[in-house]
């Protein structure tokens, strides 16, 4: 699959590289695994001198041995002597950059916690000492969000405040997803575009997997997921076990319940029979896997809220793969796939709403775009988008079946929120997959 999107990130990385030729620069890139961080940096620095170090879990001396070979191959600089510590190698590179400017990419940077945590303080000391004379463009990338946040945002950590730029790499937008699908499968049915959005969430690796195999219908994609040796069957576990550590079973249980429409704290606690406030807080703020949703215009600390899994694929994984893992473990893939096909319309409804909220936000016409509901989920509105400058509001209903859209009913349900928006010009709309 060709390289898509990322124009803003590529521009920032190019500008930073040029600046680093006068004074060393440090850029941090954070994003979930499979989102395309490695492809981004390789694209950004293609044709320029750069080193790419991947931090695998092996001894520090073995890593240094591998990296020495990388230096000699890609910078064509002979390395005399043997480095057994990363700090020694890093100092060598900082000195080298004084006369030979280059980019150093360190991928999965958080893995030094498992190898030698002292690397971070050693790098900080060397960076502070050599930065005035070095010409290094240092790019540090990581996918374990909680650890990367700790390394660079915790004031007690040695590398706090050292980064010049920070990129949070996110999945492709709905506009890019539509473009990719149109390029590969023109004339696709709206229902299949929705399925592609639900199953990939715009995560580059999943998009590439389906696009390279020309799988774009729901049936084609499910056939790839539910088969012997499918990499996607273990994806949720592989992505999150390291994040959650020993308490992963509790976190997995919470996420499974949220994926199954148990979206309030009280619902989840009544099933798990334990206080989960701390878990929800960490899932939202430390791991950024879920987000709390409040009715638009409600107070920021209001108690009326729902929890949603931010990542589309993880929502699918917890709803259908983790929930039916017993059937998957005995190889009964057809059984689970039949359940997905039966329940997919119901499951995908919230993602269709999410699709249109994102699409509306991308227009740049609104200052807020969210949902609205009143006590006991009364008068629920799928989309409310505000333009506070021009005093305009868009209120929309989203249905999988276009024939069920009812604007008159929508107007009736809007009475409560409109009482909070005096003087606003209102537009009512109905959206279905045909409008994607």
Given a cut of 80, is residue 300 above it in pLDDT? Answer: no
Separation of alpha carbons 265 and 255, rounded Å? 12
Q: Taking phi first (over 0 means left), then psi (-120 to 50 degrees means alpha), and beta for anything else, what does residue 150 get?
A: alpha
What pLDDT is recorded for position 242?
A: 79
Radius of gyration of the chain (CA): 24
What pLDDT is recorded for position 294?
A: 93
Separation of alpha carbons 182 and 352, rounded Å? 18
CA distances from 135 to 64, 71, 73, 92, 138 (A): 21, 16, 20, 13, 9
Joined tokens for residue 367: 């200052």
Would you state the torsion angle of the CA atoms of residues 92, 93, 95, 100, taken in this order, to the nearest 10 degrees? 140
| Tens digit of each residue's pLDDT (9 = 90 or more) over 106-156 | 999 999 999 999 999 999 999 999 999 999 999 999 998 889 999 999 999
Binned at pLDDT 50, 70 and 90, residue 246 comes out as confident
Given a cut of 90, is residue 302 above it in pLDDT? Answer: no
Q: Give the residue range(s) of CATH 3.40.50.300 domains in the chain.
A: 7-168
Residue 392: φ, ψ to 5°: -125, 145
What pLDDT is recorded for position 25?
A: 98
Contact 131, 26 (CB under 8 A): no
Element (H, E) at 414: none
Give 278's Cβ-side CA count (13 Å radius).
5
3-state helix, strand, coil in the chain (%, to 5): 55, 15, 30
Given a cut of 80, is residue 368 above it in pLDDT? Answer: yes
Paired residues of 134 in beta bridges? none
Q: Give the residue range(s) of CATH 3.40.1350.10 domains in the chain.
A: 363-435
Closest by CA to 328, choosing from 260, 237, 208, is 237
Whole-model pTM: value is 0.91
Question: Going by CATH, does the domain composed of 363-435 fall within 3.40.1350.10?
Answer: yes
Contact 1, 35 (CB under 8 A): no
Separation of alpha carbons 230 and 227, rounded Å? 6
Separation of alpha carbons 45 and 49, rounded Å? 8
Question: Going by CATH, does the domain composed of 233-330 fall within 1.10.530?
Answer: no
What pLDDT is recorded for position 70?
A: 93
Binned at pLDDT 50, 70 and 90, residue 245 comes out as confident
| Tens digit of each residue's pLDDT (9 = 90 or more) over 28-78 | 999 999 999 999 999 999 999 999 999 999 999 999 999 999 999 999 888
Calculate the average pLDDT of the chain. Answer: 95
CATH number attached to the domain at 7-168 = 3.40.50.300
Joined tokens for residue 362: 């991308």
């Amino acid at each position: 699959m060709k390289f898509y999107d990322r124009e803003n990130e590529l521009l920032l990385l190019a500008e930073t590289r040029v600046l680093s030729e006068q004074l060393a620069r440090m850029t941090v890139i954070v994003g979930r695994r499979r989102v395309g961080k490695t492809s981004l940096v390789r694209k950004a620095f293609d044709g320029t001198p750069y080193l790419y170090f991947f931090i695998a879990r092996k001894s520090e001396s073995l890593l240094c041995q591998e990296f020495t070979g990388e230096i000699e191959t890609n910078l064509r600089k002979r390395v005399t002597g043997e480095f057994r510590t990363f700090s020694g190698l890093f100092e060598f590179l900082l000195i080298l950059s004084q006369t030979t400017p280059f980019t150093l990419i360190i991928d999965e940077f958080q893995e030094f916690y498992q190898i030698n945590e002292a690397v971070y303080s050693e790098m900080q000391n060397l960076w502070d000492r050599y930065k005035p004379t070095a010409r290094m463009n240092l790019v540090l990338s990581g996918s374990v969000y909680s650890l990367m946040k700790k390394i660079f945002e915790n004031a007690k950590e040695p590398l706090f405040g050292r980064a010049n730029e920070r990129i949070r790499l996110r999945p492709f937008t709905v506009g890019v997803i539509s473009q990719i699908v149109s390029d590969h499968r023109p004339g696709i049915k709206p229902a299949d575009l929705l399925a592609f959005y639900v199953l990939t969430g715009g995560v580059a690796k999943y998009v590439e997997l389906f696009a390279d195999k020309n799988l774009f219908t729901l049936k084609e994609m499910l056939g790839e997921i539910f088969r012997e040796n499918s990499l996607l069957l273990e994806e949720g576990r592989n992505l999150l076990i390291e994040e959650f550590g020993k308490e992963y079973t509790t976190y997995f249980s919470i996420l499974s319940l949220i994926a199954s429409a148990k979206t309030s704290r009280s619902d989840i606690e009544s099933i798990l029979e334990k206080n989960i406030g701390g878990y929800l807080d960490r899932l939202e703020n430390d791991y950024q896997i879920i987000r709390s949703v409040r009715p638009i215009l409600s107070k920021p600390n209001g108690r009326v809220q729902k929890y949603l899994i931010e990542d589309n694929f993880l929502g699918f994984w917890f709803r259908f793969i983790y929930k039916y893992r017993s059937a998957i473990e005995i190889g009964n893939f057809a059984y689970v796939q039949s359940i997905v096909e039966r329940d997919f319309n119901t499951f995908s409804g919230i993602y269709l709403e999410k699709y249109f909220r994102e699409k509306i936000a991308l227009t740049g016409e609104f200052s807020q775009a969210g949902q609205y509901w009143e006590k006991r989920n009364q008068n629920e509105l799928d989309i409310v988008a505000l333009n506070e400058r021009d005093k305009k509001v868009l209120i929309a209903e989203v249905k999988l079946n276009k024939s069920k859209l009812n604007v008159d009913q929508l107007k009736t349900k809007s009475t409560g929120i409109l009482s909070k928006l005096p003087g606003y010009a209102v537009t009512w709309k109905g959206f279905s997959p045909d409008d994607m």
